[in-house]
Amino acid sequence: MNDQPEATSVFDTYGAALADRLGGTAIVEHDTIRIYVERDAWVETVRRARDEEGLTFFSWLAGIDWSKDVAVGDAVEEPDGLNERFEVMCRLSSIENADAAQFIAVVPKDDPVIDSITALFGGAEWHERETHDMFGIDFAGNPNLSPIYLPEGFIGHPLLKSYPLLAREVKPWPGDVDVEDMPEEEA
Amino acid sequence: MTTDYGALMHRSEVAVSVELQTQDMTLNIGPQHPSTHGVLRLVANVDGERISGVEPVIGYMHRGYEKLAEVRTYAQMTALVNRIDWVSGFASEVPFIIAVEKLTGIEAPERAQWIRLILTEMFRISSHIVFTSSYPLELGATTPLFHALRERERVLELIEGMTGGRFHPNFNRVGGIKPAAGGGKTQKQVSMDIPAGWLEETKAVMERVLGATDDSDTLVTGNELIKARTVGVGCIPGDKAIEYGLSGPNLRASGVPFDLRKHEFHLPYDQVDFDVIAGQNGDCYDRYWVRLQEIREAAKIVLQAIDKIPPGPLRSKAPRVLKVPKGQVYVRGENPKGEFGYFVISEGGQKPYRLKIRSTSFSNLSILPWVLKGALVPDLVAIMGSLDFVLGDVDR
């Protein structure tokens, strides 16, 4: 719970109450409610959030790759203590008020499977296909996990941290000079 | 040689007397087809005039923004995010920059926030005019295009006058907006503000836009031919729209009056007065009608904002080399096409660890297989066009 504002906001109370009712751990940062749930309880939690909490609007579903092996971009702050894992997130919101929450399940890298929520939200099918393309996470129960963005026969999962950006491999990006330290701007 | 007409059966009699065993045919549409607004391929299974199933094939324009974000600094990303949905570039910049502002704790001055609001609404007008003018064209009416695009050109000229760009303004900075173009060191204080006379000119153009909307109303909205092509065609009930994550005018046309501008106040939308336009049937006609009315509401918002805009600086002080503290934030905004959001994960560096882009058209398009099932082939373009998607926004 880093960088959490000291004063308790409506988001903190709502997030904690929501996690309490649905079973999970809430982290509220910058008005964004994240609720970590068990992988086995993934579909059930999403269903209860929809049916009991009024979070009926399916916003998006995506994955994150927490990895020490970073081919491009910045590494995590403390790579040594990092627990290598995937996270699958699904954001649901209300269509009557500003209520919204992100549900997150941790998916181990040696068994990248999670149940599909397509039976609850038809719109999740494409999002799950995209996540399958980009991270190689399987969604058990998704009727059609064929590639959505990648061409047939594409090898690899581009959004994995270990996946190199091929253009950069061939020629380093000249834009790197732009981000070198510059003198502090005067007021 | 004479034909024995008596021996020939009339076509209508054939249809009645013979139980036709038709074979399903696969019809390939696109990837390059004018009605697809980019490169979208549809593989449709047709049984006579009925579509029995359709599989959209996307990804022809996948540019990998989410991967690119991981190798670019936050400032560099602003130039890219407005290219996701190129019809409403500025509107997709705003949630990203607000997300970074939330992570860093740098707040934009009030004047900058109002200018963001004004420009977002002007891009909404521009985006909706593209729809309300090109949609009749897809149905076969040419005139509305010229009528409406003339007004859009005036809006774009104003946007260019302020930002220097017509489509890709790249005008947002962490902590405010870029000062208007021009001016050396001595001129700095003067040129730091918006161009002289810009607000007055905008007011005049907004009045013209309101007039043009009335024109469109008489020219298109009540037009019987347009109605015949769109009323009752491609109906999406409210619950289906919610299930598929449709947002923006597509959702509101289905009778769900949800507008993020009434719930998320990253920009001072709570200080302006406007109506949320909702349709009833969720058909193509309602989706057209909702957008046309939203042009009016957007023009009204701009007119109010011009009266309310406070004086002050356009940019707060922010470090040149921006190191963003560790944190995760999701910020969404009401893009002209619907909910547009960014989930930013920062691990304390100059670049995001992960950026998830919630693009509107991707979700809006995902309902296409459902809504096209059972529709007639001649209605395909009408239904597809009414969803108002941009392929850059679908593919990211």
Query: CATH number of the domain at B64-385, please?
Result: 1.10.645.10
User: Does the residue A157 lie in any domain?
Assistant: yes
Rounded to 5 degrees, φ, ψ at A25 are: -115, 130
Q: Is the pLDDT of residue B343 over 90?
A: yes
- Which residue segment(s) compose the domain that A73 sits in? 10-163
Q: Is the pLDDT of residue A176 over 70?
A: no
Q: How much is the pLDDT for B118?
A: 92
Q: Is the pLDDT of residue B85 over 70?
A: yes
Q: For chain A, what is the domain count? A: 1
Beta bridge partners of residue B6, listed in sequence order: none
Nearest to A74 among B102, B264, B351 (CB): B351
Chain B residues 19-78 with a CB less than 8 Å from chain A: 58-59, 62, 64, 66-68, 70-73, 76
pTM above 0.95, yes or no: no
Q: Would you kindly state where each structural domain of chain B is located, as residue ranges?
A: 64-385
Torsion-angle region of residue B197: left (phi > 0), alpha (psi -120 to 50) or beta?
Answer: left
ipTM of this complex > 0.90?
Answer: no
| B102 contacts in chain A (CB < 8 Å) | 30-31
Q: Tokens 């579509």 sit at which residue?
A: B51
Rounded to 5 degrees, φ, ψ at B53 are: -175, 150
User: Which of A6, A27, A30 to mutate to test binding with chain B, by most B CBs within 10 Å of its CB?
Assistant: A30
| B343 contacts in chain A (CB < 8 Å) | 32, 62, 89, 91, 102
Tokens at B253, concatenated? 């046309």
pLDDT in tens, A65-106: 888 888 777 777 777 778 888 999 999 988 888 888 899 999
pLDDT in tens, B193-204: 777 788 888 899
pLDDT tier at A2, thresholds 50, 70, 90: very low
Q: How much is the pLDDT for A173?
A: 64
Three-state secondary structure call for residue B57: strand
pLDDT in tens, B94-141: 999 999 999 988 888 888 899 999 999 999 999 999 888 888 888 888
Q: Give how far A40 is from chain B: nearest CA, Å.
A: 23
> Among residues B360, B95, B73, B69, which one has the least CA distance to residue A159?
B69
pLDDT tier at A186, thresholds 50, 70, 90: very low
Beta bridge partners of residue A102, listed in sequence order: A34, A91
Which pairing describes strands A113-115 and A138-140: parallel, antiparallel, or unpaired? parallel
Q: Cβ(B259)–Cβ(B333) under 8 Å? A: no
In the 3-class helix/strand/coil scheme, how is A127-140 assigned residue by residue? Answer: HHHHHHHHHCCEEE
Q: Give how far A77 is from chain B: nearest CA, Å.
A: 5
Rounded to 5 degrees, φ, ψ at B294 are: -70, -25
Alpha carbon distance A7, A174 (integer Å): 44
What average pLDDT does the segment B42-64 reach? 86
pLDDT in tens, B250-272: 999 998 888 888 888 888 998 99
Stronger pLDDT, B222 or A130, i.e. the higher one: A130
Q: Which parts of B61-142 fold into alpha helices (H)? A: 65-69, 74-81, 89-104, 110-139
Average pLDDT, chain B: 83
Contacts of B175 (CB under 8 A, 6+ apart): B101, B106, B107, B108, B315, B316, B317, B318
Sheet with B354-358: strands ordered across: B327-335, B338-346, B354-358
> Among residues B169, B147, B142, B145, which one has the least CA distance to residue B158?
B169
- B149-171 burial: b if 16+ Cβ within 10 Å, else e: eebbebbbebbebbbebebbbbb
Q: How much is the pLDDT for B184?
A: 46
Helix B110-139 × helix B284-308 angle, to 10°: 150
Alpha carbon distance A166, B74 (integer Å): 21
* pLDDT above 70: percentage of residues in chain B: 90
From the number of C-beta atoms within 10 Å of its C-beta (0-12, 13-18, 19+), residue A63 rates as buried
pLDDT tier at B192, thresholds 50, 70, 90: low
Instruction: Give the CATH number of the domain where residue A111 resides.
Output: 3.30.460.80
pLDDT in tens, A12-63: 888 788 878 888 888 888 888 888 998 888 999 999 888 888 888 888 999 9
Three-state secondary structure call for residue B364: helix
Between chains, do B329 and A29 touch, taking CB under 8 Å as contact? yes
Q: How many CB pairs below 8 A link A and B?
A: 139
Q: Give how far A111 is from chain B: nearest CA, Å.
A: 22
Q: How much is the pLDDT for A174?
A: 63
Beta bridge partners of residue B173, listed in sequence order: B176
